[in-house]
Amino acid sequence: MAVQWALICHGLITLIVVVSFLCGQWPIFQGTPISSIHRFITFGAYQYFLKFVGAVFGDKGTNSILSVEYYCCDRPNPILQSSALSLIIYLAILGSTYCIIVKTSFQYIPGYYLSGVHRYTSLLAVAIGILLFLLTSFSDPGTVTVDNVSQYLSVYPYDNVIYTKKECTTCKLPKPARSKHCSICNRCVARFDHHCGWMNNCIGERNTRYFLAFLLWHFLLCMYATVGIGLVLAGRLKELKIVYILTVYYGVENSFRSLAPHIVQWLLGSYNTQILLMVFLAIVSLLLAGFFAYHAKLCLTNTTTNETFKWQDYISWQKKLHEARASSAALKASINGMNGERKPRENKCKSFFRRSPLENTEAVVKSNVYDKGLLHNLYEVIFPVRLRASNSHTKSKSG
């Protein structure tokens, strides 16, 4: 029984740690233990480690750790930031998981619920996942060059709010709207979304479609594996006649409430590796579903992750500007009040100053000029600028 409880505790702790690390900063978790665990994992643990190193080895030890951090995380690094290393890590995770499934579950396929074809479809599904990783990781995200900069400038006009006409100081090229210079890749990327560390590539105008396909396919792949292992275990339950044995030989009542604890105990005792795999894959599939849903929403509204942060910064700045003006108006009203003009001006100022932050930012409207409707937005993601240009060129020739 101790082993079963240890496995359950292990699964719960893994779930809490993964959710805390990836989702702890979400507003819904503010002020909860999930948020505290997130702060400890992402910031607190490292700070305590630095203090420990400083106490034991002094400033030299702390400076050594900080220089290693800078080398690994804060500057372009040809060793750690290589697509080949990303591919090796990805293949190691995917390959080890698949090998464990093959070793523990394929001996029961074909079984009561699964036919032998799943031995081959699972391999095909993994191969498609690898192909999508290669397309996302090694494809051009939409590098802005001398040859295509004019095309990007015409396709993405400046909105003069978060994007204004300027030149990239590094590339020495006009900077199209929605583009950004990636310091890691050292290039300007059109319709820049983010730099993906897992892929070691930017996600931009030309490979967003591959990235979305990668997220969706791996979500389905994890769900396929989870359901497949579940059906294997259900088949073993049926083939070994566990319910029959429990009810006939052990006198357990033939009801879900009575049978469930005994069946769970049997599964944890006989197939603990498969249970752990199911829990792990279910958690990963939920996280992938969340990431896919977030990026799908961005694509359907023709927004990028980079633009989301830009708008947040702009609205926050406008809010502070309104608050500063309100404070200035309040100060002026109090000064004027000393000269006998206090009441009319003060009332006017108070009515403005008492408005909520949301009301103070009413003038700041997030106007996305690039949102041209759901279907057109989806079309832009599936068919990048180069493909759209070649299609229109072909049509004009045929016309």
The residues carrying an active-site annotation are: 196
In contact, 290 and 218? CB cutoff 8 Å: no
In contact, 122 and 225? CB cutoff 8 Å: yes
The DSSP result for 241-273, as a single string, is THHHHHHHTS---SSHHHHHHHHHHHHHHH-HH
Long-range contacts of 129-132 (CB under 8 A, 24+ apart): 129/94, 129/214, 129/217, 129/218, 129/221, 130/90, 130/91, 130/94, 132/210, 132/213, 132/214, 132/217, 132/218
At 188 the three-state DSSP class reads strand
d(C-alpha 211, C-alpha 203), whole Å: 7
Question: What is the distance between the terminal CA atoms of the chain, rounded to a whole angstrom?
Answer: 76
Q: What is the CB neighbour count within 10 angstroms for residue 342?
A: 14
The residue count for the chain: 399
As given in the structure block, the two tokens for residue 270 are 């006989």
Residue 194 has phi, psi (to 5 degrees) of: -165, 165
